[in-house]
Chain A
Amino acid sequence: MYQTGNLVKDLAEKHGRKRESLMPILQDIVKKHNYLTDDVMVAVATELDISAAEVYGTASFYTFLDTEERGKNVIRVCKTITCSMKGKNDIIATIEDMLKIRVGETTPDKMFTLLETNCIGWCHKAPAILINDMPYTDLTPETVIDVIKGYMR
């Protein structure tokens, strides 16, 4: 859970209060807090004068607009064919072992969430992952440890 304060109001000022403002507002909330709480979705609905079901219905359609609690850093491991062929299972096993969580879980200190995702467009440099917005490519079990260590501080 997180407190939003004036965030929703500020974002509505920035992006407008039309229906097409919804995605940019939700995307900015997720950029800051990594997921959408029920409270924040209701606040967005009130601000745009649409039903909360419309907000939830839209958010739940998009993989990156998470409506479940996520850690500070969201790791998404590409599982589509080339990454799968080039060792994504070893990458996942390494991360699971390092963070002591399974795919779909968040660390108890809320620092990391580990997820799988569909093709992220780095097939020529597989296996690849996204941490928040940043792609990391040509990974090995050794290099992925260093990458994740960089997010531990």
Chain B
Amino acid sequence: MKNKGLTKVDLIFETVDVRKVMQKAFEMTSEEIIQQVLESGLKGRGGAGFPTGLKWKYTAAEKDPDKYIVCNADEGEPGTFKDREILDKVAPKVYAGMAIAGKAMGARKGFIYLRGEYRFLLPQLFVELHKFHKMIAEIGYDFNIEYRMGSGAYICGEESALFESIEGRRGEPRNKPPYPTTSGLFSKPTSINNVETLVTAMMIIEKGPLEYVKLGTKDSRGSKVFSISGDTPIPGIFELELGMTVQQFVNEFGDGDTKAVQVGGASGFCVPRKKFADTIIGFEGVPTGGSMKLFNSSRSMYNVLHNYLEFFTEESCGQCTPCRVGCQQLFKGIEKVKKGEAKSTYLNELVKLADTMKVASKCGLGQSVGNAFKSIVENFREEIIY
């Protein structure tokens, strides 16, 4: 298969006439909107990658008169900062995505759950929201958006934990099923989408799905906003077409000495230099919510892993044992191996523990700790031991 090159795209931050798009969507039927999002092949941009059109279709099919559209702006994955930039630069497009989603699914109420760390954005966001409400009311929409704030808990980015938090409780994930599309916020059918997903859906309505599928690959349609940090001369936010290899990415953003790229944040995968050329960034290779961290040869991958495990140990909600105890044991375990208090073969036991966490943890946090753990231990074993 021929790889796509590294192409810069301007979709998310492009200036568009939001009123015009809202008018266009107002004249479309619910089915037409959902059909266009389905045809675009858009998958969720928060990291999990669930097909957006399907989520909308399932929520639309529910008969309940009360439904909710929730925008997940609890961007907490280490190395991700694109949602802040999107809200800062093009908030009306986020609101438009929510109102269009509301029309498609028969929901009149939307909530944006914004992480507490981004509270400084609120005054400006309120001004824009006020204008937006006025504009869509003139067109004829019956849709209202409210902000709810997080208070520094990473786990609240998990959809059901986020609902718990809005409902005024500890942010502890729920059992699934039922899925949010049948029983989400306040036990009502809910479509919860990432900030970037909503803007992308809005742009698909603006441009049409045929225009969108020209970008990307079969499994990873379109483009994506990447948050790029670490050892790079040009850290920042870049919108790129999906389908590039890690090698192509490193050629553009590396400092000439890149030894590893962590794709998808602390819960993502570490790609070592020898696998750069064969690894595609996208759902056919390594998926990402946008976090791309580059490490050069001066960095100790033990320190990287240690930092991630400390993060998970602190951010695990503590509700289920595999995650709560698993994170602590992985964290202590690599310290023991490093200090020589445990044999290097103890790492094999820790890998088994990470596998157990993947199948036994209740939510995505515990299930994905093993991604970074295994990909770093397997590719940089000597750095963990010595």
* Nearest-CB residue, chain A, relative to B165: A23
Known: A61-B170, A85-B299. A124 touches B81 (CB 8 A): yes
Q: Is B245 an interface residue (CB 8 A)?
A: no
B235 touches A124 (CB 8 A): yes
Contact of B169 among A58, A130, A134 (CB under 8 A): A58
Q: Which residues of A contact B293 (CB under 8 A)?
A: 81-82, 123
A82 touches B168 (CB 8 A): no
Known: A82-B229, A123-B78. A27 touches B235 (CB 8 A): no
Q: Is A94 an interface residue (CB 8 A)?
A: no
Q: Is B304 an interface residue (CB 8 A)?
A: yes
Contact with A along B149-172 (1 / 0, CB 8 A): 111111000000000011111111
CA distance A25 to B221 in the complex (A): 42
* Nearest-CB residue, chain B, relative to A120: B117
B171 touches A62 (CB 8 A): yes
Q: Is A135 an interface residue (CB 8 A)?
A: yes
Q: Which residues of B contact A124 (CB under 8 A)?
A: 81, 227-229, 235-237
Q: Which residues of A contact B196 (CB under 8 A)?
A: none
User: Which of A22, A119, A133 has the most chain B CB within a 10 Å cutoff?
Assistant: A119
Q: Is A108 an interface residue (CB 8 A)?
A: no
CA distance A61 to B152 in the complex (A): 9
A80 touches B169 (CB 8 A): no
Contact of A125 among B170, B235, B308 (CB under 8 A): B235
A63 touches B168 (CB 8 A): no
A84 touches B170 (CB 8 A): no
Q: Is A126 an interface residue (CB 8 A)?
A: yes
A19 touches B167 (CB 8 A): yes
Q: How far in angstroms is the closest Cβ of chain A from B38? A: 31
Q: How many residues of B contact A (CB 8 A)?
A: 49
Q: Is B255 an interface residue (CB 8 A)?
A: no
B79 touches A81 (CB 8 A): yes
Q: How far in angstroms is the closest Cβ of chain A from B73? A: 11
CA distance A138 to B299 in the complex (A): 20
Q: Is A117 an interface residue (CB 8 A)?
A: yes
Q: Which residues of B contact A20 (CB under 8 A)?
A: 166-168, 186
Q: Is B76 an interface residue (CB 8 A)?
A: yes
Q: Which residues of A contact B80 (CB under 8 A)?
A: 121
* Nearest-CB residue, chain A, relative to B229: A123
Known: A21-B168, A123-B235, A124-B227. A27 touches B149 (CB 8 A): yes
B81 touches A62 (CB 8 A): no
Q: Which residues of B contact A119 (CB under 8 A)?
A: 76-79, 154, 311
Q: Which residues of B contact A19 (CB under 8 A)?
A: 167-169
CA distance A96 to B198 in the complex (A): 43
* Nearest-CB residue, chain B, relative to A125: B235
Q: Is B382 an interface residue (CB 8 A)?
A: no
Known: A27-B149, A121-B118. A80 touches B81 (CB 8 A): no
Q: Is B230 an interface residue (CB 8 A)?
A: yes
A1-30 at interface with B (beta carbon < 8 Å): 18-24, 26-27, 30
Q: Which residues of A contact B231 (CB under 8 A)?
A: 85
Q: Which residues of B contact A64 (CB under 8 A)?
A: 116, 151-152
Contact of A24 among B149, B186, B227, B317 (CB under 8 A): B149
Q: Which residues of A contact B257 (CB under 8 A)?
A: none
A63-103 at interface with B (beta carbon < 8 Å): 63-65, 79-82, 84-85
Q: Which residues of B contact A135 (CB under 8 A)?
A: 117, 120
Top 7 closest pairs, chain A to chain B, by CB = A63-B152, A123-B229, A62-B151, A22-B168, A124-B235, A64-B152, A61-B170
Mark A residues whose CB is within 8 Å of B: 18-24, 26-27, 30, 57-58, 61-65, 79-82, 84-85, 117-126, 130, 133-135
- A23-B168, A24-B148, A135-B120 known; 17 new pairs, CB 8 Å cut-off, are A23-B149, A23-B166, A30-B151, A58-B169, A62-B151, A65-B151, A80-B78, A80-B266, A81-B307, A81-B308, A118-B154, A119-B77, A119-B78, A119-B79, A123-B79, A124-B235, A135-B117
